[in-house]
Structure 1
Amino acid sequence: MASHFKQPEGTDPRGFARPSRPSSRSAQAAPHHATDDDPSRRLRTRRGGDESYHAPAGNPHAAGMPRASEGFVSVVSDPGGSSRGHDRRRREPRFVETDPYDLSGRRSRDPKKRVARVLSVILFVVGIGLIAAAAGMFIYNQWQYGEQERINEELAEYATLSDDGSTAPQVDWEGLKAVNGDVVGWVQIPGTGVNYPVYQAQDNEKYLHTSAEGTYSLGGQIFLDYENAKPGMVDAQTIIYGHHLRNGSMFKPVSDMQDQQVFDSISTVWYVTEEASYELEPLFIYQTTADDTNVRQLNFGSTDELHAYLSGLLGQAVASRGDAAQVINGMTKALSLCTCYYEDSDKGRVILVCALKSEAAAATAAASE
């Protein structure tokens, strides 16, 4: 017959005092064998579960204590007990790395992962370098545009313009020559930002990126073709070149005239020299390439050849005056303004051909008779 410990009177299984209860007839009955599964030998806990107040012989756990699950391995202990901590992670092959950094914070010694780390560092450094270079280029370009604007604004002070563009600009030639003796004329298109001195060098390269002050500049200066006779409007065709800057300065308004509506809004182009002032008007505008040598025909054997040449260019026009063909028949001179356009990368060129207003009016009148 198995024996068990008698519950001391006046205490509960947890050792706390409890009031005595009168004995009952069932309590005086003969004892019987019981196990931990016997409901009569279990108490209801405060948490709502049952726990035994008897610890079976040989059970190392006290009554009411949780029992470890079979097969449970602590996350902080080594089942084999042969190693501990970070060293175990590095030495034992059963710890498989799935990240360039293991749980201990130490780098993996896998050669492939070392290569991956080096490559990632190199790419990161290269990326930072590219961002820094792009930022530097942007800042430098903005500085260049600012310098070009400063030069343009200072040179613009040498000319006085009429409010409506009906009269020619009044130019301080002595002041301009003191800055740069290569100045030969002044070009203005009323209603636009085109208002610049015109220079001429020994070639068509110098003033592409050289300012009137003789220093490098993004937009250079507006310049007369080096093969044209000074100061312009002497040859049958006078050509003036200028950059098309993306901030809207230099000859960008000329490029904008490829739109017929913009073209129609411009009625006057002024070219002024020390000796004379020429009032012209847009006739047509056409596109071509940088290697088109036909653009630079400056003189012709006769006016008929000039008319045939201009009529051929009119066939390429993207915008034009409605009676351009009639006006061409009365022309003896043409002024052409040449700049870039970006629809064809950096190879595109656009040329605005202008006629003297006096010759255009005479040709129109003759055609109407």
Structure 2
Amino acid sequence: MPASVRQHYELYPYPDYPLFASVRRQDTYANNLGALWALFNGELPPPAGRILIAGCGSFAPYPFALANPGTPITALDLSGNSLKRARLHCLLHGITGVDFVPGDLCDPALAPGPYAMIDAYGVLHHLAEPLAGLRALAARLCEGGILRVMLYSHYARREEDSIRRALRLLQVRDPEQVRRMVVKSGKRSRLRNFFESSDEVASRSGLADALLHPQVTSYRIGELLELIAASGLALLRFAHRGALPEPESEIARLRELERQRRAPGNFVFYLGRDVQGPCPEKEGVYRLNPCLAPALAPWRLAPLHLPGRLGHENAALDGAERRFLRRFRNPVPAADLSRAELAKAGHYADRLFLMRCRA
């Protein structure tokens, strides 16, 4: 990892959420190891399964620990200031059991595997050699292990990248200097338009991450697929907004968007090492994602709104749907469900609300 990247995050720990900003446990459901392992392996994770957050930044350990109480979590980051803020955020919310490790994710001596799940959200595109970083993470995965990655899309990042290159040529390195430039810029200038349309630039660290980062690589879908092929891992699923569940169908959709010079946002996807594949809908048992149990208490009458994940937008869960999901607090064999109930359970399993596991 270049020293300039380390210095950047020492100056601007990211993201800059308030320390008392809290997360509802039900909103972390897609970070639950059991739900993800069941989706891709058709069973519950091994008892010794661990999670690595590679490039954890200043916030991610908190929601991951909330989603996985009792699961050992390692939070690795090259920035000491980011780790300090992440540790403090956890402590202020009563989160323990996270091991905070400073250093470069490409160093195999740090946070050695095996891990059942690794998260590298918005990290690899800041490496001088993203493939080396991806291979270093792949080497830490256990058999059946899952890696979530977010990488910048060329067409989603065109404005940021263009402005960032211009600022580098002008040797602009301070967020306040950028803000002064915005004030002086014309009402229809590219810089002003970006500031008026982007939420990222509201904070000092967000502005620095978007426009002043010293190391950024963005990808077209063909380049992304080459990176994945060279990693030795299998592409399991895309998970950005609107993504189709079958990877090949989503790749075709992305190619068509790129022909139109468009993108659905940045790429989010899951990779795996020798995963076993999902359990068939009519076999095994269904269990409730444990993150949702508190939100499904009978006395909670308001519709339940959950953030969309795996490409889905989620409609609010009404009383009937919440009652249906409550049935799975204890395992329910697929054989005990009617055809209509199986279809509904499969729908919820694909959204990670339920876990479908081989008996």
TM-score (norm 2): 0.20
Structure number with greater Rg is 1
TM-score (norm 1): 0.20
Structure with the larger RCO, 1 or 2 (CA within 8 Å, 6+ apart): 2
